[in-house]
Structure 1
Amino acid sequence: MTTYLRYRDDLEHPRADEERDIDRIIAVLRTNNERAFRKYKRGLRDAHAKSHGILRGELTVHAGLRAELAQGMFAEPATYPVIARLSSTSGVIRSDQLRGVRGLGIKVLGVHGPRALPDDDATTQDFIMVTHREFLFADAHAYLTKGMPTAWVLARLPDTALRVGSDLVAALDTHVLRRLGTGVPPNLGVFVAPNTHILGETFFTSAPLRHGDYVAKLLYAPVSPEVVALHGQPIPESAGVNAHQNSVIDFFAAHGATYELRAQLCTDSTRMPIEDATVEWPESESAHETVATLRFDRQDPYTPQRRAYGDEVLSFNSWRGLDAHRPLGSINRLKKRVYEASSNYRHEVGNAPRVEPRDATELPP
């Protein structure tokens, strides 16, 4: 019988210099925000800047979950309205022909209970997910020293330079490094992965979060036949610079889609660490298990009104939610402050209201 790690307040162990590191990261990202505003004349997120669709759906918590999974908002069977935003994780607007990480923000509406942040009076539960299973940097210090130089450069390179660079790295990986029994570093690996249909992707929280009395990571996987068939489907060059947006619009004009939300419970904080987000939690020790189903009916996911609402008004932050699902570890503590600073700047310069929806009808048709 598997024994799962119980959540405790002392599971986290921040570095003494973590807050100073986060201050420095926010300062660099602000320069990226300001540069993007000068270029686009509107405020952009410093990550997930370009959206590909804003979806209305429902999340249904499964009945009969065993006790370790039936935690927090998953404690009882229920159905909640959902707003989801598909994106690319770059902080600038780039061609969809570029390889890279895709993002998913899930906002569950009507979730009641004690909040992760004391001044949060919303009734939403946000989950932020990306297409790489583990985070590329262990903690805030590694992100500052290794990630930020890359982020600074990437924010300033044109699409053509990124396209050539990623193709060269992919060729090097395929024809040289694999023959030597090695591969490109993980932080470059995101530029090697093929560019495939976003609706067929699996998304991950990458870093852990509280799961009521336990600790977990989450994934979001396609399960209905129409989206399962899109897994690994290449994006053709003929599809243009907005290929993901157009493919999402075309798909939902003809189909609905079903995905599952699955939790992987932590068994041991040494083998499945809280503070180092680069370490893979082995499926052999604790498999992902389904806790909820998300369904999206046919719709137009990118009307001008929806795009404006999703890009200008809405914000997603995994700290906006129940204390029972409070994000854990250094990368999540980093995101708490970085996402808030980015959102404040974006709404201020865009003169846009900052709204947490209480009803799905607030999402424009």
Structure 2
Amino acid sequence: MTYLRYHEDLENPRPDEEQDIDKIIAVLRDNNERAYRKYKRGLRDAHAKSHGILRGELTVPAGLPPELAQGLFATPATYPVIARLSSTSGVIRSDQLRGVRGLGIKVLGVDGPRALPGDEATTQDFIMVTHREFLFADAHAYLMKGMPTAWVLARLPDPVLQSGSSLLAALDQHVLRRFGQGVPPNLGVFIAPNTHILGETFYTSAPVRYGDYVAKLLYVPVSPEVVALQGQPVSEAAGVNVHQDSVIDFFASHSATYELRAQLCTDAATMPIEDATVPWPEDESPHRTVATIRFDVQDPYTPERRAYGDDVLSFNSWRGLDAHRPLGSINRLKQRVYEASSNFRHDVNNAPRLEPRDATELPP
């Protein structure tokens, strides 16, 4: 099979992209300030609520084929990992609400040329969510379609969102399907089943450089205990912090193993770089395992660990190796949006902004 080679002119930004991103940052800053007034502390403008901060290890196996033995995955090795599970809302919501879940993976002790000039960290961040494709093609689509939704969602109370989600699910099941239609993808995330977060599969959604190639990544449960949680419904009687509680309960007596898999791009026409809504066909290029991530028994949400994960740590897919540089409009948007949000949060919370160099920096 022939894989698309990475080259610097793969990307093709719209001429007005930077202006679009400026407008998005302004709206999100307003949401940041509103959340600060409500909660009396700075929150992320996405992934505000965490459900667990995990310590683990990422292992790159020996014997990867040359096209997969790239960047971080070029040499067999084991790296410490800090991971943060979250919901993608920019406000603190009940876990009973359906929606997108997030995963930030921070790999420690990674050396090599960095994606951004002046970055002296030795970490590699991967930002992943539970929808396979991004909901908007590029920054312009996000501004025109995503931001009005984000503005409204930041202001609606949980009961209104819960009722709207239930109504939308009923409409989709009993009306739209009869006419061969469905709820648009940007609304579909609010009717997807609410299931155990440790059984979820997470995706980068948008592409990244993969050494000499280009790829999308996914993270999937493989050990029996977490495979058993796939699709397990969240009990409506479990409370507003059910994801946090279930993560704590699980890791009190179980370990968990996940695989990180890469899907290499074969053709920029069928696997576009700039349009993050287009599915990359698995029959053209399947996801293949490049590493395992293991978490042992631990307490993932002590007060000290929660404070470190929520207030001190930041995750940004641009913090990493140039060999895994994020690609496409949505990733260029994230570079600036994540930085602006992190700066605001750390400033108003008077919290240090530190990149860990050792896993022992994560509190027990």
Output the amino acid matched with 2:123.
T
Counterpart in 2 of 1:81? 80
Residue 319 of structure 1 aligns to a residue whose secondary structure is coil
Counterpart mapping for 1:119-268 below 5 A: 119-268=118-267
Measured against aligned partners, the alpha-carbon deviations of 1:131-164 in whole angstroms (never above 9, x if no partner) come to 0000000000000000000000000000000000
SS of match in other structure, 1:11: coil
Percent identical pairs in the alignment equals 85
TM-score when scaled to structure 2? 1.00
- 1:58 aligns with 57
How many residues are matched?
Answer: 364
The residue identity in structure 1 corresponding to 2:163 is: V
What is the CA–CA distance in structure 2 between the aligned matches of 1:173 and 1:252, rounded to whole Å? 36
Cα distance, 1:179 vs structure 2: 1.8
Alignment of 1:262-281 (within 5 A): 262-281=261-280
The residue type equivalent to 1:250 in the other structure is D
Structure 1 counterpart of 2:67, one-letter code: E
Q: Give the match's secondary structure for 1:291.
A: strand
CA shift digits 1:183-236 (9 cap, x unpaired): 100000000101000000000000000000000000000000000000000000
State the superposition RMSD in angstroms: 0.3
Q: In structure 2, what is the Cα distance between the partners aligned to 1:25 and 1:338?
A: 8
Say if 2:16 is the partner of 1:7: no
Q: Distance in 2 between matches of 1:63 and 1:247?
A: 34
CA deviations 1:68-98 (Å, max 9, x no partner) are: 0000010010000000000000000000000
The one-letter code of the counterpart of 1:63 is A
Distance 1:148 1:34 in 2: 16
Alignment match, 1:348: 347
Q: For residues 41 and 74 of structure 1, what CA distance do their matches in structure 2 show?
A: 42
1:101-137 deviation per Cα after TM superposition (whole angstroms, max 9, x unaligned): 0000000000000000011000000000000000000
1:293 aligns with 2:323: no
Q: Which residue of 2 aligns with 1:18?
A: 17
Gaps of 5+ in 1: none
Residue matched to 1:329: 328
SS at match of 2:104: strand
SS of equivalent to 1:238: coil
Q: What do the CA deviations read for 1:234-280 (whole angstroms, capped 9, x no partner)?
A: 00011100000000000000100000000000000010000000000
Instruction: Please report how far the alpha carbon of residue 180 of structure 1 lies from its aligned counterpart in structure 2 after TM superposition.
Output: 1.5
CA deviation digits over 1:284-310, x for unaligned, max 9? 000000000000000000000000000
1:40 — aligned with what?
A: 39
| Partner Cα separation in structure 1 for residue 62 and residue 155 of structure 2 | 49
Taking structure 1 as the reference length, what is the TM-score of the superposition? 0.99
